[in-house]
Amino acid sequence: MAQDVPQYWLGRSTGKLPSLSYGLGDDRLGGAKMGYVDTNIVFKIIDSTKAMYVLQLSKNHTAFIDKVYIKRDSTIKEKPFYLTNSWKAQGTDSCYDILSISLDEKLPYKSWMEVNPSKIVFDIYGVQSNTNWITQLSSLKEIKNVYYNQVEDDILRVTIDLQHQQHWGYSVGYNEKKLVIKIKRQPSLLTLKNLKIAIDAGHGGTNSGTGGNKTTASEKLLTLKFAKELEKLLRKQKVNVVMTRKVDTTFDIKDRVLFLQQENPDVLISLHLNSSNNVLVKGSSTYYKHIGFRPLSQSILKRMQNIRMDEFGNVGSFNFGLNAPTDFINCLLEIGFLSNEEDEKRIIDSKFPAMVAKQIVSGLNDWLKDVKR
């Protein structure tokens, strides 16, 4: 009798910021993302579409990934099951607490933030617990407690309780076969002078963004003006500032993310201008993806209304590349609609960038005052 042939093959993640998607849905920003994953993670590929592979994460869970992010690896020796081993949570001499989880293999994961109370939660797929102790050292300053639940036969859920209400960011990756979660501590001084602020002027170079309704206004050039005005005001207040671009140049979104991960800011403000097919739509809006980063976006939007900008809304779970990182607090501000005559007139006014910069800085300060120690 012929042996059954496996209806799948094994591969590893590769490329620049590979990310998992929930499904095949799509829009101008791409399909809804589960989040970034590290490279060299083992995946079981069970099917494919024209552009995506279907991944079997666990018995009852699948995900999708762009084909460019998977390389076939015939050397992988698949085990019937994978185990967790020892865990350790400790503080460092820098701005991080670190949790390391030993595994038999580099396995897929998904993470998210929770609030009230503040937590970071991970699902690790394809694994069974063999963890009988979790070491937590007194050097921890942000991690309050670490524990797990085997929520399905092959899914382990890791919960990290945080000391503070505000999420300051975390990064995830493998060090050999240890899953390492680096969690940013809340700064000891909650002032702008004690933070590193990144400013992103949206678009640039070959990516011109949207254009004016009644004028030849260009989003890529206008966002640079607004970014420079914000930079000038922050530097005047002795704030440490980093810019993703200072000139009209092409800078891919993923390259911006990688650049920002290297720069390690406390906060990112990304500046854009909006557009709609309905010329009557107008106003300012702010965007976030991760619920733990929402408070800053609310403070900035509230301040924009002080300069008589209508409220278009505060938008969560936003599928924009610079809202995707969990590494640092981030907020996208759509200053106004170039497609609306009234907004456009204000946006191109030479005095308006300074007004907007002042509101952003005030929003940052309002947010810091609300952050609980």
- CA pair distance 198, 169, nearest whole angstrom: 14
pLDDT tens, residue by residue, 284-334: 999 999 999 999 999 999 999 999 999 999 999 999 999 999 999 999 999
Q: Is the dihedral of CA 227, 230, 236, 237 positive or negative?
A: negative
- CA pair distance 52, 201, nearest whole angstrom: 31
At 94, is the pLDDT very low, low, confident or very high (cuts 50, 70, 90)?
confident
- Please give the CATH superfamily to which domain 192-370 belongs: Zn-dependent exopeptidases (3.40.630.40)
Give 300-303 contacts, CB < 8 A, sequence gap 24+. Answer: 300/269, 300/331, 300/333, 300/359, 300/360, 300/363, 300/364, 300/367, 301/333, 301/363, 302/363, 302/366, 303/359, 303/360, 303/362, 303/363, 303/366
Q: What letter does residue 68 receive in the DSSP assignment?
A: G
- CA pair distance 297, 326, nearest whole angstrom: 15
- CA pair distance 41, 71, nearest whole angstrom: 10
Q: Name the 3-class secondary structure at 50.
A: coil
Query: Span 227-233, mean pLDDT?
Result: 98
Same fold, 9-72 and 82-184: no
Q: Name the 3-class secondary structure at 301.
A: helix
The whole-number pLDDT of residue 4 equals: 53
Q: ∠ CA(120), CA(125), CA(126), 5° rounding?
A: 150
Q: Name the 3-class secondary structure at 119.
A: strand
Neighbours of 135 (CB within 10 A): 11
For domain 82-184, the question of CATH label 3.40.50.300 is answered with no
- Output helix, strand, coil percentages for the chain, rounded to the nearest 5: 20, 40, 40
The whole-number pLDDT of residue 1 equals: 43
Mean confidence (pLDDT) of the chain = 96
pLDDT tens, residue by residue, 167-216: 999 999 999 999 999 999 999 999 999 999 999 999 999 999 999 999 99
Domain ranges of the chain: 9-72, 82-184, 192-370
Query: Span 49-68, mean pLDDT?
Result: 97
Residues in CB range of 208: below 8 A, 6 or more apart: 218, 219, 220
Q: ∠ CA(8), CA(124), CA(331), 5° rounding?
A: 110
Name the class of domain 9-72. mainly beta
pLDDT tens, residue by residue, 327-354: 999 999 999 999 999 999 999 999 999 9
Flag whether pLDDT at 256 surpasses 90.
yes
Flag whether pLDDT at 2 surpasses 80.
no
The whole-number pLDDT of residue 268 equals: 98
- CA pair distance 272, 254, nearest whole angstrom: 17
Considering only CA atoms, which of 133, 132, 131, 113 is closest in space to residue 122? 113
The whole-number pLDDT of residue 253 equals: 96
At 26, is the pLDDT very low, low, confident or very high (cuts 50, 70, 90)?
confident
The whole-number pLDDT of residue 6 equals: 64
Residues in CB range of 308: below 8 A, 6 or more apart: none
Strand 82-91 and strand 134-136: the pairing is parallel
The whole-number pLDDT of residue 341 equals: 97
Flag whether pLDDT at 250 surpasses 70.
yes
Matching residue, tokens 């900035």? 300
Neighbours of 237 (CB within 10 A): 12
